[in-house]
Structure 1
Amino acid sequence: MQKTRRRLAAALCALVAGLGATAAIAQSYPSKPVKLVVPYPPGGPTDIVARVIAQRLQTQTGQPFVVENLPGAGGNTGAAAVARAAPDGYTLLVATTAHAINPSLFKNLSYQFGKDFAPITQLTSGPLVVVVNPALPARTVPELIALAKAKPGDLNFASSGNGQSTHLAGELFNATAGTRIRHVPYKGSAPALTDTMAGQTQLMFDTMLSAMPHVKGGKLRAIAVTSAQRSPAAPDLPTVAESLPGFEAIAWNGLLAPANTPREVLAKLSTELRTAMEQPEVRERFEAQGFAAAWTAPEAFAGFIHAEIDKWAKVVQVSGATIE
């Protein structure tokens, strides 16, 4: 009996000590620089979002938040590095829509997106915009669908790469509208837009940040946005869903930590990020890129991620897309 009591007492002491240590870690976090891994090259939309957030978090916490770009393999190189990092809150991943697509698209990922990360919060949410070459005789979504059905397989759409949201949004459009617009992948948004403007490809689903300057310059025509509601950045543009009910393809960014990061650290980060994204200057920087600030609690973000994984898995299956 005495041995049992001693064991229980020892276990209780260990539990209390562990809780105390965890609380102390959370209270002092962050006590050194925090790395935000952006799995894409510098200068893109995700990199810009990360740097806005990093600057604000540094101001709030007094500790450096450093952006590190680890591009490669459609965002998988950086994601794999964070999945292997110590679960202490000092190495975080700035994830995108592509990371919810990749589990269905890549056959041999070295990490599991739905299991190897602890969601912290969504950062941004924004539509893609459907842009066409001005010579294309389609000014609305119904006209584009009619043209594609009249010439099945003749039209093609450019994307910033296999598996990117700019690719799968087009495949979702095909599946929803019953069209056969062929996919032409590029290595980045810039060359894809260049060929669309030149008429080598007829249309593209791209971020507003990349595409709208060319629309304003008269080199492309915008016909719709891919969000469920119209975008405040272009309120006169209809949504695809106004012609194809239920269609929605948004580009998003979110922040994740390695799995098993202490809950108290995740909660601290979530609170700091909520404060950051309530700042007018942060919202204005996001809106300038066609994004809206989209803070969510960790549990809600986890549910959103799993819904996105399921949604895009169906699109990948219908499209037949795959990457070794």
Structure 2
Amino acid sequence: MRRRTLLMSAAAAAVGAPAIARAQAYPSQTIRLIHGYDAGSNPDTIARHLSGPLTEILGQQIVIEPRPGAAERLAASQVARMKPDGYALYLMTGGQAVVSATDRSLSYDLLKDFDFISIVTRFPFVLTVGPDSRFKTLQAYIEEGKRDPGKLTYGTSGVGSTLHMAMELMLEKTGAKMTHVPYKGGIGQPYNDLVAGRLDMHVATFSSAQPLMKTDKLRALAVTSKERHPGFPAVPTVSETVVPDYDVVSWLGFTSPAGLPPAIRDRLYAAFQQAMARPDVKAKLEELGNDTRVTSPAEFRARVEADMARWRPLAHVVNQS
């Protein structure tokens, strides 16, 4: 019996040895960092700010690959089929939890097809109008949406995105009705439409909107977080104006296809901690409107599960669009 036990242990060690060796050698080649939005978008901007420090820490080049389309569904469906070897990483947004909670037609299962490594940033959204818009407050916009249902418009990055659901949650709470105008992941066209008066309001991330806000080419009506944004303290929150206790904050986190070896996951997690601890990285990301706190893989998964539970009741909005 003792001899059999020793043989089984030796066999198990032999099987695990190649995996351990691969993990110890990681990374030995270029790492692809994929996200689901256009160049210049919030995920792309953050990816580019992190790619340099991560390249230094890991000793291998980080190549950013935008794969925009369908509110991140396209990128997620492609990454889910990739090899879980640490050389294809996915910078996922909180929108994936929303999509997975509300869209029954997805080709992937968020909780089964991905390994969650770490959330690195959290951020609210901002509700913007053109500089000459007649709406000076969010209350005025909502009140007109009640008086004349469906007349007013609002834009987002796509059907089922967090920005879309953030607005629909607000409309459900207030009883107003607006017409949703989804844009294909772009950031330029909705702002052009706001300025030209073809769009009444746009739900945006701070990283994309704040350059135009600072030059008065856009006006902010409200932010979606419970607290005011430190960079724009004069802009009220949705909870202060139209929906008490309203609080919508999204996130960005690093994931991989399911099955990532634990040693590689731990190596990546440590690298993200190092990168996010750098004062220059923190300062730049916070300037763009991000709260920079690294979470553990377990905390990341728990956040995804909680977000999916929160947004599931709004599935009818996506399925009717």
Q: TM-score, normalised by structure 2?
A: 0.90
Number of the residue aligned with 2:29: 32
- Unpaired segments of 5 or more residues in structure 1? none
112-121 or 164-173: which moved more? 164-173
- Unpaired segments of 5 or more residues in structure 2? none
The superposition leaves residues 117-168 of structure 1 with CA deviations (integer Å, 9 ceiling, x where unpaired) of 0100112211111112445444333333333223332222122222223222
237-246 or 122-131: which moved more? 237-246
Report the residue type matching 1:213 in the other structure: P
Report the residue type matching 2:119 in the other structure: Q
SS in 1 for 2:202: strand
User: Take 1:41 and 1:220, find their aligned partners in 2: how far apart are those partners?
Assistant: 21
User: Take 1:206 and 1:45, find their aligned partners in 2: how far apart are those partners?
Assistant: 9
User: Take 1:289 and 1:227, find their aligned partners in 2: how far apart are those partners?
Assistant: 15
Number of the residue aligned with 1:182: 179
Kindly tell me: are residues 173 and 28 of structure 1, through their superposed partners in 2, closer, same or farther at Cα, counting changes over 3 Å?
A: same
Report the residue type matching 2:264 in the other structure: V
The superposition leaves residues 175-219 of structure 1 with CA deviations (integer Å, 9 ceiling, x where unpaired) of 122211221222323212221222222111111122233333333
User: Take 1:316 and 1:173, find their aligned partners in 2: how far apart are those partners?
Assistant: 15
SS in 1 for 2:300: helix
Matches within 5 A, 1:70-219: 70-187=67-184, 188-219=186-217
Kindly tell me: are residues 152 and 71 of structure 1, through their superposed partners in 2, closer, same or farther at Cα, counting changes over 3 Å?
A: closer
The superposition leaves residues 285-306 of structure 1 with CA deviations (integer Å, 9 ceiling, x where unpaired) of 2123222323111100111111
Number of the residue aligned with 2:245: 246
The superposition leaves residues 209-246 of structure 1 with CA deviations (integer Å, 9 ceiling, x where unpaired) of 22233333333321211112222221222211223223
Q: TM-score, normalised by structure 1?
A: 0.89
Report deviation, 1:258. Answer: 1.2
User: Take 2:119 and 2:320, find their aligned partners in 1: how far apart are those partners?
Assistant: 27
Report the residue type matching 1:223 in the other structure: L
Number of the residue aligned with 1:227: 225
User: Take 2:14 and 2:230, find their aligned partners in 1: how far apart are those partners?
Assistant: 51
User: Take 2:214 and 2:71, find their aligned partners in 1: how far apart are those partners?
Assistant: 29
Report deviation, 1:21. Answer: 4.7
Report deviation, 1:174. Answer: 0.6
The superposition leaves residues 45-95 of structure 1 with CA deviations (integer Å, 9 ceiling, x where unpaired) of 211211222211111121222222333333222222221122221111111
User: Take 1:206 and 1:20, find their aligned partners in 2: how far apart are those partners?
Assistant: 48
Contact 2:35 2:44 in 1 (8 A): yes
User: Take 1:260 and 1:209, find their aligned partners in 2: how far apart are those partners?
Assistant: 33
User: Take 1:31 and 1:186, find their aligned partners in 2: how far apart are those partners?
Assistant: 39
Number of the residue aligned with 1:260: 259
User: Take 2:133 and 2:12, find their aligned partners in 1: how far apart are those partners?
Assistant: 68
User: Take 1:18 and 1:295, find their aligned partners in 2: how far apart are those partners?
Assistant: 34
Kindly tell me: are residues 133 and 34 of structure 1, through their superposed partners in 2, closer, same or farther at Cα, counting changes over 3 Å?
A: closer
SS in 2 for 1:293: coil
184-193 or 198-207: which moved more? 184-193
SS in 2 for 1:153: coil
Matches within 5 A, 1:299-314: 299-314=298-313
Equivalent residue pairs, number:
319
2:47 maps to which of 29, 45, 50:
50
Kindly tell me: are residues 314 and 225 of structure 1, through their superposed partners in 2, closer, same or farther at Cα, counting changes over 3 Å?
A: same
The share of aligned pairs that are identical, in percent, is 34
Kindly tell me: are residues 17 and 45 of structure 1, through their superposed partners in 2, closer, same or farther at Cα, counting changes over 3 Å?
A: same
The superposition leaves residues 4-55 of structure 1 with CA deviations (integer Å, 9 ceiling, x where unpaired) of x444333322334455554443333222222111222323221121122221
User: Take 1:217 and 1:50, find their aligned partners in 2: how far apart are those partners?
Assistant: 25
SS in 2 for 1:85: coil
SS in 2 for 1:292: coil
Contact 2:156 2:164 in 1 (8 A): yes
Please tell me the root mean square deviation across aligned C-alpha atoms, in Å: 2.3
1:12 maps to which of 9, 12, 23:
9
Report the residue type matching 1:55 in the other structure: G
130-139 or 254-263: which moved more? 130-139
Kindly tell me: are residues 198 and 268 of structure 1, through their superposed partners in 2, closer, same or farther at Cα, counting changes over 3 Å?
A: same
